[in-house]
């Protein structure tokens, strides 16, 4: 007969359990540290307008400064966080640096609500320093490698189920009856919106009171071109698009809309528009639209196109196409290369009718 030493057995079991308990404790400790760290870096909106040439470093407790990055007095930098509530340092974006996210002392400048030129802000109100339509400081541009989506409506289909001002006034002679109309240019990733916009303005935008929003500041030429190519200006679409998306583009309103119109004009001057105008009343497939992009802008560009369709009774109408771009987007750049550099897009609807102007 074998005798079992129960004391030894229990001790062995305790030893077996010990590594497991230690592992669980380590995981819990890591989670606790992560939670504390998250609380220690409150997320911020707005910008820092630099007043001093402060070093911008990847870590607060290290003087290591790859690239020797320093703030430029008078320039504004997008804020991301601070090291803790009422802390000593801001985390901000330094465009072109590697890494771009850097820490600076809070005394290096003043926090402002919008990106603006130094002389554009009212004195004594740094938190409401400028209109979001103001020009950014000299040298502030979108980041190289930016990704955007340009949305272009086929307005006759949009107006089949909309009673907006631009639809009530649409005629067969108007530009958008036979051309793609500008919806907007949307910086990516999705959700990158309302950069530095006050809660009051954002609330007004989300309530749909677009004509009550401030008009974006653009030149008379751009205003004229917008009113032609973006019929939604009649209901304040330009104001909405600027506040929601343009404020995250990294330029002033003039450049944001000029870049948008440049892409729209290129598509309208291509075989893609010809395909639509010669297919009015008929069904177009997604493959046919993508093939038209490949013929117009080069192989592979069609894979960056997505179709959006709307139901109108028993009909499915193509109401919008979206086009992805990635790179240093500006008027005169190689558009085909910018399109090919963007990620491939999910195709959206597989086919739809190209609608004619007027209620069908």
- In degrees and rounded to multiples of 5, residue 293 shows phi and psi of -65, -40
Domain boundaries for CATH 3.90.730.10 within the chain: 146-353
Mean of the pLDDT values across residues 264-290? 98
pLDDT digits (tens, 9 = 90+) for 102-161: 999 999 998 865 444 333 333 332 233 334 554 443 334 454 458 999 999 999 999 998
Q: What percent of the chain has pLDDT over 90?
A: 64
Q: Is the pLDDT of residue 8 over 60?
A: no
Mean of the pLDDT values across residues 24-40? 45
At residue 10, the pLDDT reads 56
Give the other-Cβ count within 10 Å of 355's Cβ.
24
pTM recorded for the entire structure = 0.65
CA distance 342 to 249: 16
Mean of the pLDDT values across residues 276-295? 98
Going by C-alpha positions, the residue among 134, 140, 106 that lies closest to residue 122 is 134
Mean of the pLDDT values across residues 81-96? 86
Q: How distant is the alpha carbon of residue 333 from its chain centre?
A: 20
Do the beta carbons of residue 337 and residue 323 sit within 8 Å? no
Mean of the pLDDT values across residues 274-278? 98
Q: In sequence order, what are the beta bridge partners of 187?
A: 148
pLDDT digits (tens, 9 = 90+) for 212-261: 999 999 999 999 999 999 999 999 999 999 999 999 999 999 999 999 99
Instruction: Give the full edge-to-edge strand order of the sheet including 109-112.
Output: 101-105, 89-93, 76-82, 47-50, 109-112
CA distance 316 to 161: 12
* Better-scored residue on pLDDT, 63 or 284: 284
CA distance 69 to 220: 38
Lowest mean pLDDT segment, chosen from 113-122, 287-296, 327-336: 113-122
Cβ burial 219-234 (10 Å sphere, 16+ → b, else e): eeebbebbebbbbbbb
Mean of the pLDDT values across residues 293-312? 97
CA distance 143 to 57: 19
pLDDT digits (tens, 9 = 90+) for 62-78: 889 998 899 988 787 87
> What's the CATH class of domain 47-128?
mainly beta
The correct CATH number of 146-353 out of 3.90.730.10, 3.10.350.10, 3.30.470.10, 3.40.30.120 is 3.90.730.10
Q: Is the pLDDT of residue 280 over 50?
A: yes
Q: What angle do CA 288, 292, 295 make, to 5 degrees?
A: 135
Contacts of 101 (CB under 8 A, 6+ apart): 58, 80, 91, 92, 93, 94
Going by C-alpha positions, the residue among 265, 264, 258, 215 that lies closest to residue 237 is 215
Question: Contacts for 202-208 with beta carbons within 8 Å, 24 or more apart?
Answer: 202/243, 205/239, 205/240, 205/243, 205/244
Lowest mean pLDDT segment, chosen from 56-65, 78-87, 231-240, 291-300: 78-87
Q: Is the pLDDT of residue 191 over 50?
A: yes
Q: Is the pLDDT of residue 28 over 90?
A: no
Count the residues in the chain. Answer: 360
Q: Is the pLDDT of residue 87 over 80?
A: yes
pLDDT category of residue 41 using cuts at 50, 70 and 90: low
Domain boundaries for CATH 2.30.30 within the chain: 47-128
CA distance 134 to 142: 15
Exposure on the CB side of residue 275, measured as CA atoms within 13 A: 21
Q: Is the pLDDT of residue 194 over 90?
A: yes
Q: Is the pLDDT of residue 211 over 70?
A: yes
Q: In sequence order, what are the beta bridge partners of 105?
A: 89
| Mean pLDDT taken over the chain | 83
């Amino acid at each position: 007969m074998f005798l079992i030493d129960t004391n030894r057995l229990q001790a062995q079991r305790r030893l077996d359990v010990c590594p497991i308990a230690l592992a669980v404790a380590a995981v819990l400790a890591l989670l606790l540290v992560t939670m504390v760290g998250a609380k220690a870096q409150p997320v911020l909106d707005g910008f820092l307008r630099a007043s001093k040439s402060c070093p911008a470093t990847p870590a607060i407790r290290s003087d290591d400064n790859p690239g020797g990055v320093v703030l430029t007095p008078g320039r504004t930098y997008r804020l991301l966080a601070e090291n803790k509530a009422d802390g000593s340092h801001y985390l901000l974006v330094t465009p072109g640096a590697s890494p771009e996210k850097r820490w600076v002392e809070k005394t290096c400048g003043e926090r402002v609500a919008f990106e603006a030129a130094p002389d554009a802000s009212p004195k004594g109100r740094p938190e409401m320093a400028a209109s979001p339509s103001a020009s950014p400081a000299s040298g502030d541009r979108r980041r190289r490698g930016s990704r955007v989506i340009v949305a272009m409506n086929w307005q006759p289909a949009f107006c089949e189920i909309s009673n907006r001002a631009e639809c009530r006034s649409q005629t067969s002679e108007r530009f958008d009856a036979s051309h793609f109309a500008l919806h907007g240019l949307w910086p990516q990733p999705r959700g990158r919106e309302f950069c530095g916009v006050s809660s009051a303005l954002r609330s007004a935008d989300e309530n749909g009171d677009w004509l009550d929003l401030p008009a974006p500041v653009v030149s008379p030429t751009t205003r004229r071109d917008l009113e032609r190519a973006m019929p939604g200006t009649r209901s304040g679409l330009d104001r909405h698009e600027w506040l929601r998306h343009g404020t995250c583009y990294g330029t002033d309103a003039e450049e944001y809309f000029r870049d948008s119109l440049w892409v729209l004009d290129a598509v309208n001057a291509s075989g893609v528009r010809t395909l639509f105008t010669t297919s009015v009343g008929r069904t177009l497939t997604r493959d046919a639209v993508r093939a038209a992009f490949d013929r117009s802008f080069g192989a592979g560009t069609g894979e960056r196109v997505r179709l959006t369709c709307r139901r109108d009774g028993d009909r499915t109408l193509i109401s919008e196409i979206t086009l992805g771009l990635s790179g240093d987007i500006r008027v005169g750049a190689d558009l085909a290369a910018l399109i090919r550099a963007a990620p491939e897009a999910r195709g959206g609807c597989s086919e739809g009718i190209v609608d004619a102007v007027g209620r069908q």
